[in-house]
Amino acid sequence: MHRRSYLRAAGAAVALGAGAGCLAGESDGDEAAKTVTTATDDGDVTAETVATGLEVPWGAAYLDGVLHLTERPGRVVRIVDGSREVVAEFPDTATGGEGGLLGLAAHPDDPTVAYTYQTYDGGGRRNRIRRHDATDGWRAETLLDGVPGSRIHDGGRLFVSPDEGALYATAGDADRAEDAQDPAALNGKVLRLTLDGDPHPENPLDGPVFSYGHRNPQGLATEGGRLYATGHGPDTDDEINRLEAGGNYGWPEVRGRERGADGEFVPAIASYTPTIAPGGLAVYPDDGPIAAWSGDLLFGTLAGTHLHRAALGDGGVTDERLFEDAFGRLRTTFVGPEGHLYATTSNRDGRGRPAAEDDRLLRVVPS
């Protein structure tokens, strides 16, 4: 299998099945296999099962060196030696549809402080960002409230930029597409706060809005000092965007790589039709154990049911599909302190076909 058989230029259609071969596991084709290996032109890589029995894991963060995950029904769990332990529950979480207890991030300087993005009912469905004291029963303080919510398009990803002292959040359009073009509305946006919850002083607009014109952004990560986001399109044009302060990414006026008649919209750097529903975003570290992946963007896919690798280059983006159909829906990717890439499945969210041990936490390592 050669890379050229499944790498393509940004914007070209993904051929179903590309890169899906050369899979091997404890039982070939068994979705519940503990390990699955796939061959690439850069060498074999293996996905190992680290933990099982999770329920729609969504956000991931390390607090004092220990991995914590949110589960969408309203729990925070920690993973120690492959075991899942519930450390906090939030019964005021509004579940159903795409909302719930979503993003999770850790304070960069205080291992006792964490942030979550939560859907709740408050005279209608809403989203809020909260700060927690992990040493006091995950006591919550609301930093930003009133982000419009819905059964779909709640966004929910959190990302901390230590150099900026900034907390970023993705807010979906809450099924109100027209709001994405309104800079005063909080939905259909990427938001930027200080770590104390105030609008970041370097925001281009009044308030917490960093960029707008987004449909349902799902992932945030930085590479080379640039902020990138993944987002869901409607029936076409899932996107990777390179975010600019004050940038208008076009939804619902345009989609994908379109700039608009007057060039007023920022085009995506890559778009995907048929849609693959990209999830959370991670950047592979320069010192990671798979040297060929250094600086690449990696995200799970919910409709595409594969791990997606997007390599940034002067000629655009080239893409590779890994572990296709091996684990079902993949949502969140992140890098652990040892440099390995991790991914979570999302097969118990009502749209997947869960295997007996789902949902799972996976670790991708060289074979």
Q: Rounded to an integer, what distance in angstroms lies between the CA atom of residue 295 and that of residue 218?
A: 19
Domain residue spans in the chain?
3-366
How confident is the model over 73-98, as a mean pLDDT?
97
Q: Whole-number mean pLDDT of the chain?
A: 92
Q: What is the pLDDT of residue 32?
A: 57
Q: Is the pLDDT of residue 339 over 80?
A: yes
Q: What is the pLDDT of residue 39?
A: 85
Count of C-beta atoms within a 10 Å radius of residue 197: 16
Q: What is the pLDDT of residue 23?
A: 53
Q: What is the pLDDT of residue 24?
A: 53
For residue 96, is it left (φ>0), alpha (ψ between -120 and 50) or beta?
Answer: left
Confidence of residue 40 (pLDDT cuts 50, 70, 90): confident
Q: What is the pLDDT of residue 315?
A: 82
| 200 part of the active site | no
Q: Rounded to an integer, what distance in angstroms lies between the CA atom of residue 94 and that of residue 107?
A: 25
pLDDT in tens, 123-136: 899 999 999 999 99
**Strand, coil or helix: 3:** helix
Q: What is the pLDDT of residue 284?
A: 98
Instruction: Write the burial class of residue 363 (CB in 10 Å: 0-12 exposed, 13-18 middle, 19+ buried).
Output: middle
Q: Which of 312, 90, 88, 58 is nearest to 170 (CA)?
A: 58
How confident is the model over 303-328, as a mean pLDDT?
94
Q: What is the model's pTM?
A: 0.92
How confident is the model over 8-32, as a mean pLDDT?
39
3-state secondary structure 241-266: EEECCCCECCCCCCCCCCCCCCCCCC
How confident is the model over 295-324, as a mean pLDDT?
95
Q: Is the pLDDT of residue 344 over 80?
A: yes
Q: What is the pLDDT of residue 269?
A: 98
> Which residue out of 107, 132, 153, 340 is catalytically annotated?
153
Answer CATH for 3-366 from 3.30.300.30, 2.120.10.30, 3.90.1150.10, 3.20.20.70: 2.120.10.30
Which of 8-22, 100-114, 128-142, 215-229 shows the lowest mean pLDDT across its residues?
8-22
pLDDT in tens, 206-257: 999 999 999 999 999 999 999 999 999 999 999 999 999 999 999 999 999 9
pLDDT in tens, 151-182: 999 999 999 999 999 999 999 999 999 999 99
Q: What is the pLDDT of residue 191?
A: 98
Which of 12-21, 135-144, 194-203, 338-347 shows the lowest mean pLDDT across its residues?
12-21
